């Protein structure tokens, strides 16, 4: 049985706690490795070593740090298939979807190749008589990234790229369910020229998370996961004087207006609702057609598309649409929520429970499910299902649909499908959600913008990647300098008032 340890000071080290957790193969339901869970002492040692390495790395000029990012990007491209297979094996994604996971992370690294442009300060010369004022951006020191299972490559790359490009050292705590990709990325960074100790990968559970939050050397924490944990990490980090950007759960709605192209809307919902088995914080889990005629037309198009979806392991070929969910517990929770939807009066149009894949009967597979006539008070509407379940909530009018989104406690992403520009502009202006799609179902911004939700989907003032990341991972120092005149003419013994 493979045992996965930690990446400390540029090499793999075994854990010393004697505690492990299983790394499953979601497609087979079998244990494929064991990952060590670090002690507080191991975490503190990793932080102390990172702090030593950060001094020289932070003093390295931004252009040289950017060259490491350039080499890192090239190595990611060279190892794309290996990374995709690694992601698929531990998470269960299809290979095309796993490539996308890596690619969207790589795009952030590509932006980090231009980090010197983001790290420039400001200057005002002659702000007063002989006085110049200038500011500079400096690294925080040691920062931490706590990343989720559903994007084993993308989210670690979103965290480590900007943090390292800014001159910080990073402690990366990946999900213990999908640990291998983060360690391989650390190895690639070493090949790219990152000094040992600047990136430490420490595997662990809540004990390690709390140790990160309580360690005085760690100056900032980035997290992606569920809302309760995001709120917990944000609160504890803030109480300990750390910067924190914590991204939580979602319940993303897509409004379908009567004038929308129904076929395009249906295709968008299939991809956004069922891709990656619904294990995306930007998945569309709620379709909101305006008017019964629109709702009926949408159901008519969704059902045959859902019935054609191919569910299976990533090894079954690139025509598989989505694979298993991450654990048996996740599968049981999804099936339980589907059952609650039926009990509470929703119409289960397509039932994905009970799916069996020949040869993979013990895998954590959930077939695609579709509900109609879902209402606000139902558990399947109120909770983030994080599985291949699409709920249709019928709205009587555009205002009803808009208010459904506005009233929801989450505000990660939303979308509207319409042929009317005025409706689209009104929606984009009024909706209280951080990322908005217009005839675009999963509005994840490109890497030179910035990613972040509103309401209970995000805690903290600055978003992930893009310009906000460089603000988050640096602190501003402002210098006021005065250069006395008269030296070139000799000393003056008379008191001179300021002009």
3-state secondary structure the chain: CEEECEEECCEEECCCCCCEEEEEECCCCEEEEEEECCCHHHHHHHHHHHHHHHHHHHHCCHHHHHHHHHHHHHHHHHCHHHHHHHHHHHHCCCHHHHHHHHHHHHHHHHHHCCHHHHCCCCEEEEEECCEEEEEEEEECCEEEEECCCCCCCHHHHHHHHHHHHCCCEEEEECCCCCCHHHHHHHHHHHHHCCCCCCEEECCCCHHHHHHHHHCCCEEEEEEECCHHHHHHHHHHHHHCCCEEEEECCCCEEEEECCCCCHHHHHHHHHHHHHHHHHCCCCCEEEEEEECHHHHHHHHHHHHHHHHCCCECCHHHCCCCCECCCCCHHHHHHHHHHHHHHHHCCCEEEECCCCCCCCCCCCCCCCCCEEEECCCCCCHHHHCCCCCCEEEECCECCHHHHHHHHHHCCEECEEEEECCCHHHHHHHHHHCCCCEEEECCCCCCCCCCCCECCEECCEECCCCECHHHHHHHCEEEEEEEEECCCCHHHCCCCCCCCCC
- Mean of pLDDT over the chain: 96
pLDDT digit string, tens, across residues 127-179 = 988 899 999 999 999 999 999 999 999 999 999 999 999 999 999 999 999 99
Do the beta carbons of residue 281 and residue 414 sit within 8 Å? no
Q: How confident is the model at residue 235 (pLDDT cuts 50, 70, 90)?
A: very high
Q: How confident is the model at residue 499 (pLDDT cuts 50, 70, 90)?
A: very low
Q: How confident is the model at residue 427 (pLDDT cuts 50, 70, 90)?
A: very high
Stretch 17-26: mean pLDDT: 97
Looking at the fold, whether 268 and 235 belong to one and the same domain comes out as no
- Written as six digits, the tokens of 396 are 């009587």
Looking at the fold, whether 143 and 214 belong to one and the same domain comes out as yes
In a domain, 300, yes or no: yes
Q: How many domains does the chain have?
A: 2
Instruction: Return left, alpha or beta for 55; rule: phi > 0 is left, psi -120 to 50 is alpha, else beta.
Output: alpha
Residue 431: CATH number of its domain: 3.40.309.10
Looking at the fold, whether 89 and 157 belong to one and the same domain comes out as yes
- Sorted by sequence, the CB contacts under 8 Å of residue 203 that are 6+ apart come out as 4, 5, 6, 15, 35, 36, 37, 38, 173, 174, 176, 179
Tell me, yes or no, if 166 is annotated catalytic. Answer: no
Instruction: Return left, alpha or beta for 184; rule: phi > 0 is left, psi -120 to 50 is alpha, else beta.
Output: alpha
Q: How many CB atoms lie within 10 A of CB 414?
A: 31
Looking at the fold, whether 188 and 301 belong to one and the same domain comes out as no
Specify which residues 36 forms β-bridges with: 20
Overall residue count recorded for the chain in this entry: 499
Residue 91: CATH number of its domain: 3.40.605.10
Task: Identify which of 137, 105, 144, 139 has the alpha carbon closest to the alpha carbon of residue 122.
Answer: 137
Instruction: State residue 104's pLDDT score.
Output: 97
Stretch 320-338: mean pLDDT: 98
Cα gap 151→129, rounded to integer Å: 55
Instruction: State residue 498's pLDDT score.
Output: 47
In a domain, 229, yes or no: yes
Looking at the fold, whether 290 and 378 belong to one and the same domain comes out as yes
In a domain, 464, yes or no: yes
Looking at the fold, whether 179 and 258 belong to one and the same domain comes out as no
Task: Identify which of 28, 2, 90 has the alpha carbon closest to the alpha carbon of residue 328.
Answer: 28
Looking at the fold, whether 211 and 283 belong to one and the same domain comes out as no
Q: How confident is the model at residue 286 (pLDDT cuts 50, 70, 90)?
A: very high
Q: Is the pLDDT of residue 497 over 70?
A: no
Looking at the fold, whether 228 and 263 belong to one and the same domain comes out as no
Looking at the fold, whether 312 and 235 belong to one and the same domain comes out as no
Do the beta carbons of residue 161 and residue 69 sit within 8 Å? yes
pLDDT digit string, tens, across residues 210-219 = 999 999 999 9
In a domain, 112, yes or no: yes
pTM of structure: 0.94
Residues 100, 105, 106, 112, Cα dihedral to 10°:
160
By residue range, what is the domain housing residue 337? 252-438
Looking at the fold, whether 155 and 176 belong to one and the same domain comes out as yes
Residue 425 vs residues 287, 415, 416, 417: alpha-carbon distances, Å: 20, 12, 10, 12
Catalytic residue among 112, 166, 281, 366: 281
Stretch 329-349: mean pLDDT: 98
In a domain, 186, yes or no: yes
Looking at the fold, whether 214 and 264 belong to one and the same domain comes out as no
Q: Is 317 exposed, middle or buried (0-12, 13-18, 19+ CB in 10 A)?
A: exposed
In a domain, 106, yes or no: yes
Looking at the fold, whether 432 and 347 belong to one and the same domain comes out as yes
């Amino acid at each position: 049985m493979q045992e996965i340890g930690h990446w400390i000071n540029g090499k793999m080290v075994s854990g010393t706690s004697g505690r492990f957790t299983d790394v499953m193969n979601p497609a087979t339901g079998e244990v494929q490795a064991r990952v060590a869970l670090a002690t507080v002492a191991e975490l503190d040692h990793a932080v102390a070593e990172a702090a030593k390495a950060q001094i020289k790395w932070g003093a390295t000029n931004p252009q040289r740090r950017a060259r490491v990012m350039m080499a890192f990007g090239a190595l990611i491209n060279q190892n794309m298939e290996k990374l995709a297979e690694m992601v698929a094996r531990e998470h269960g994604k299809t290979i095309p979807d796993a490539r996308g996971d890596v690619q969207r992370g790589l795009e952030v690294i590509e932006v980090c190749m231009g980090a010197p442009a983001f790290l420039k300060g400001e200057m005002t010369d002659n702000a007063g008589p002989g006085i110049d004022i200038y500011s500079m951006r400096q690294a925080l020191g040691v920062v931490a990234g706590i990343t989720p299972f559903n994007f084993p490559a993308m989210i670690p790359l979103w965290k480590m790229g900007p943090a390292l490009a800014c001159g910080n050292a990073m402690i990366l705590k990946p999900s213990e369910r999908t640990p291998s990709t983060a360690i391989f990325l650390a190895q690639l960074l070493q090949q790219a020229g990152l000094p040992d100790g600047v990136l430490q990968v420490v595997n662990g559970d809540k004990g390690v998370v709390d140790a990160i939050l309580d360690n005085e050397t760690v100056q900032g924490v980035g997290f992606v996961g569920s809302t309760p944990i995001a709120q917990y990490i944000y609160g504890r980090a803030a109480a300990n004087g750390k910067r924190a950007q914590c991204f939580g759960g979602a319940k993303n709605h897509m409004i379908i207006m009567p004038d929308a192209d129904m076929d395009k809307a249906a295709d968008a919902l299939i991809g956004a609702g069922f891709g990656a088995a619904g294990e995306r914080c930007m998945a569309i889990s709620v379709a909101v057609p305006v008017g019964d005629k629109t709702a009926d037309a949408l159901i008519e198009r969704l059902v045959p598309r859902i019935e054609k979806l191919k569910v299976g392991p990533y090894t079954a070929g690139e025509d598989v649409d989505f694979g298993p969910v991450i654990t048996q517990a996740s599968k049981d929770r999804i099936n339980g929520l589907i059952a609650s939807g039926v009990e509470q009066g929703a119409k289960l149009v397509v039932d994905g429970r009970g799916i069996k894949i020949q040869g993979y009967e013990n895998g954590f597979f959930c077939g695609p499910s579709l509900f109609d006539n879902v209402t606000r008070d139902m558990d399947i509407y109120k909770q983030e299902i994080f599985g291949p379940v699409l709920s249709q909530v019928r709205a009587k009018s555009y205002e009803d649909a808009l208010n459904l989104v506005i009233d929801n406690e989450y505000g990660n992403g939303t979308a509207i499908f319409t042929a009317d520009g005025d409706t689209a502009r009104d929606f984009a202006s009024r909706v209280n959600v951080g990322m908005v799609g217009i005839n675009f179902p999963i509005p994840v911004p490109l890497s030179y913008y910035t990613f972040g939700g509103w309401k209970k989907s995000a805690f903290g003032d600055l978003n992930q990647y893009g310009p906000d990341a460089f603000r988050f991972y640096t602190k501003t120092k402002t210098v006021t300098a005065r250069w006395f005149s008269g030296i070139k003419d000799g000393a003056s013994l008379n008191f001179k008032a300021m002009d």
